[in-house]
Structure 1
Amino acid sequence: MKLATHPLVLIRLERGWSLADLARLMHREAARHQLRSGIDRNRIWKWEHQVEPTEEHQLLLARVLGVPAAEVEHLGWPWWLPAHADPLPFDPAGSRAAIREATTARMDRRSFLVFASSALATGAAQWATTEPGRLTGALAGQSVDPELLCWLEERTTELRGLANANGPLVAELLEIHLKTTVALIQEARYGQATGQRLHLTAAHLAQSLGWLRFDAAQHGAAQRLWQGALHAAHLAGDRDLGAGVLSDLAYTCTWLGQPKDAVRILGHARARTTSPAARSLLDLRHARALAVLRDRSGVTRALASAENELEHSDPRHAPGWVAWMSPADLSADAGRCWLDLGDQHRAAAAIEGGLSQLDPARRRTRAVFLTYQAEGDLRDKDIEAAAEHARLALDTSLDSKATRCLDLVTTLINRFERHSEPAAADLCDYARHRLAA
């Protein structure tokens, strides 16, 4: 398997090391442990060109880079190296590594290496053109107990539902269940049907946990979880779920100011979906990215398609990961699109309509929509209404415990400091008090 840029090259570039510099560091580390290294710049060059180092050399390199030995064994070469430029490829080795890495996505050591959005788009293209293969062979170990598998599937469904309202409390449970499922995938014996169910369970768990990491502003961890979910869904042959995971990755691109790459990712995802509810969500997220790009005609077409697909969807047959998609989401996110396009009147009506229909249990979504509403009021120079909605957004964000939502509303509240109206001053005082509590 050929990587576009080897992780070891990225590490050296980031740290300013030449091949000879790294060889000297490894010699020095070997001497500290009274070992012989035999490593020179030519050998390291070979490692960067897909010649795998021996286990001893990998452990020595890990000491130089500060990576635990257990991680070297767990992830394998070169995936344990603390750098990646590209998502893992959709071949058996790449998918296994992506699913394994999803279980370590809480670690912060690679948080500075969020996947480049252009690389995510390339990965989406590969996903769209690579057909899932049959699960090959049985791994060593015992057969998967059918009752255990049913239990894992049922708990996964329950935890995904609870995550909408109690994210931080559920994150640890999702993580434990994900590790258990991945351990079964790696160590147990099972047939194709059981393997597909295990990979689907892992995909659902990683997708849900990815959203909780995203809400906590842990973008690198969220992306690694979603990459693992994408590979697991791919191995299970579930194209709709894979498209949904890609739409999550695209949403983060738009959120982080990279709408062009979101459009590319969503184009690949939309082509392989069969569920109307899934297509509606993809079209809506496509509209959001196009709105940031100021493509009014594209937004109009995407929103019309999203509305049409949602009308033809049957909630009884919608995939579980998109069962939350509702007219409330369509209306409020359409309002965000019109807000980005400068149509405040249309935006206000759509956002207000979405908020009135939204399930009260979805506090994170409500916090985001209230922030949009406050931003629209502020653009209309209705300071009193803007302050009232911003106060509600702040309270809801704090209640949801979602860092992402809190960052969004506090950034907006900071804009009130430039206004002299009493309502603006009262809001800023209220925010300082709440945030200090």
Structure 2
Amino acid sequence: MATGADLRAVREAAGLSLCGLARRTHFAKSYLSMVETGKRPVAADVADAYEQVLGVPLRPAPADPVRLAHEWLVGESPVVVQVRAGRRVGAELATELERRVVELRHLDDVVACRDLLPAVSRELADAEGLVRSASFSERVGRRLFTAVGELAQLAGWIASDAGRHAEAQRFYVSGVGAAGEASDRVLGAQLLSSLSYQIANVGDPRDAVLLARTAALGTVGATPVVRALFLERVAWASVRAADVTGTWRALDAVDEAYERRGGSGSEPEWVYWLDRSEIDVMAGRCMIELGRPADAEPLLARAIAHYPPDHAREVALYSSWLAESHARAGDLDAARDALDRAQQHAEIMPSARTAARLDVVRAVCGSG
């Protein structure tokens, strides 16, 4: 793990001030200063932020993340061991399950859906079996049902990426039930919002708008970054439904919500990935749909430049949008260059969603 001194060294080597880094992340300057001087530990999300903004790897990536995903399949989870033993479930197992959920979620950044979905599906089935058959206190039960809901959301997201949309919908809906058992309205809204994103892409966008808005309106107590995420999905559903006014209103609300974000630890872990680059990508995608590709290009190019190269699926997807922005602006040479980069990254981390996008962009670019 990198130290605070390491963070400071790479930031200064990149010629970026502490104030400048704070502006490009969701962390306060004062907090980053304490991290760099060793007064606060280097949390994983802080290291992620430095890596993304500075483009410098600070931590070794898993030597073989695909192998790690397969180890989840052949190994026996602590949930199964606990249930077989027949003991009352306590906080220790809840903590272990929460840790495993986080690990699987971050594996999704670097492991293809075909390799990760079986592992996540199995973990979800084990966790669902646990909450059906084990005994536990009310407090532990809320934590367990929350973990089930988060696993269901992750399974739905990965299944959707694999093109298994009916299965993804079943995961999302079952997760809403688990979130209800945990009395976690925000998590329930996250599941519905995720489902709205799928429907916007492969179903009736008008249904997606209704679902996305319902999720956003139903979470009055959501934290700023979570609210920004829900509003992004409102924007995407709106633009797919050709609602220009609704799209711009939602994009403006995304920026307003994100600017109110707090420091480290103030947001749920499942929204760790949403940063300014992701927000710019969504804005750029919406601008292309609205017929403003020239405005989309700088947003997409800047975001891609700051994206970790080992996140090949996202680099492929976002490069495909950059290619489309160039093509629709009339610069076919730049479009084909971006499309080539997208295809190279797509080969590293295959996904049905990426393949469908590339087919669309090839047609726009006029390439076979």
TM-score (norm 2): 0.72
- Equivalent position amino acid for 2:126 in 1: T
Cα-to-partner distance string for 1:13-34 (whole Å, 9 max, x where unaligned): xxxxxxxxxxxxxxxxxxxxxx
CA contact (8 A) 1:203 1:232 kept: yes
Instruction: Note if 1:239 corresponds to 2:188.
Output: no
Instruction: Note if 1:309 corresponds to 2:257.
Output: yes
Instruction: Note if 1:191 corresponds to 2:137.
Output: yes
Instruction: Note if 1:165 corresponds to 2:107.
Output: no
- Equivalent position amino acid for 1:255 in 2: N
Tell me, in whole angstroms, the C-alpha distance in 2 between the residues paired with 1:290 and 1:384: 31
1:222 aligns with one of 168, 188, 209: 168
CA contact (8 A) 1:244 1:321 kept: no
Return the offset for 1:185. 0.8
Structure 1: stretches of 5+ with no match in the other structure: 1-140, 418-423, 429-437
- Equivalent position amino acid for 1:174 in 2: V
Tell me, in whole angstroms, the C-alpha distance in 2 between the residues paired with 1:324 and 1:311: 16
Return the offset for 1:295. 2.8
Map 1:10-409 → 2, pairs under 5 A: 142-168=87-113, 169-273=115-219, 274-314=222-262, 315-409=264-358
| Residues 257 and 183 of structure 1, relative CA distance in 2, 3 Å threshold | closer
| Residues 310 and 359 of structure 1, relative CA distance in 2, 3 Å threshold | farther
- Equivalent position amino acid for 1:230 in 2: V
Return the offset for 1:366. 2.0
CA contact (8 A) 1:398 1:406 kept: no
| Residues 293 and 170 of structure 1, relative CA distance in 2, 3 Å threshold | closer
Percent identity of equivalent pairs: 29
Tell me, in whole angstroms, the C-alpha distance in 2 between the residues paired with 1:240 and 1:145: 24
Please report the RMSD computed on the Cα atoms of aligned residues, expressed in angstroms: 1.7
Tell me, in whole angstroms, the C-alpha distance in 2 between the residues paired with 1:415 and 1:298: 26
- Aligned pair count? 279
| Residues 299 and 415 of structure 1, relative CA distance in 2, 3 Å threshold | closer
Tell me, in whole angstroms, the C-alpha distance in 2 between the residues paired with 1:236 and 1:183: 16
Structure 2: stretches of 5+ with no match in the other structure: 1-85
SS of 1:306's partner is helix
- Equivalent position amino acid for 1:268 in 2: T
Cα-to-partner distance string for 1:280-304 (whole Å, 9 max, x where unaligned): 0111111112222333332222111
CA contact (8 A) 1:394 1:410 kept: no
Cα-to-partner distance string for 1:87-112 (whole Å, 9 max, x where unaligned): xxxxxxxxxxxxxxxxxxxxxxxxxx
Tell me, in whole angstroms, the C-alpha distance in 2 between the residues paired with 1:364 and 1:308: 28
Tell me, in whole angstroms, the C-alpha distance in 2 between the residues paired with 1:207 and 1:257: 19
CA contact (8 A) 2:192 2:215 kept: yes
Tell me, in whole angstroms, the C-alpha distance in 1 between the residues paired with 2:210 and 2:270: 22
Aligned residue number for residue 3 of structure 1 = none
- Equivalent position amino acid for 1:222 in 2: A
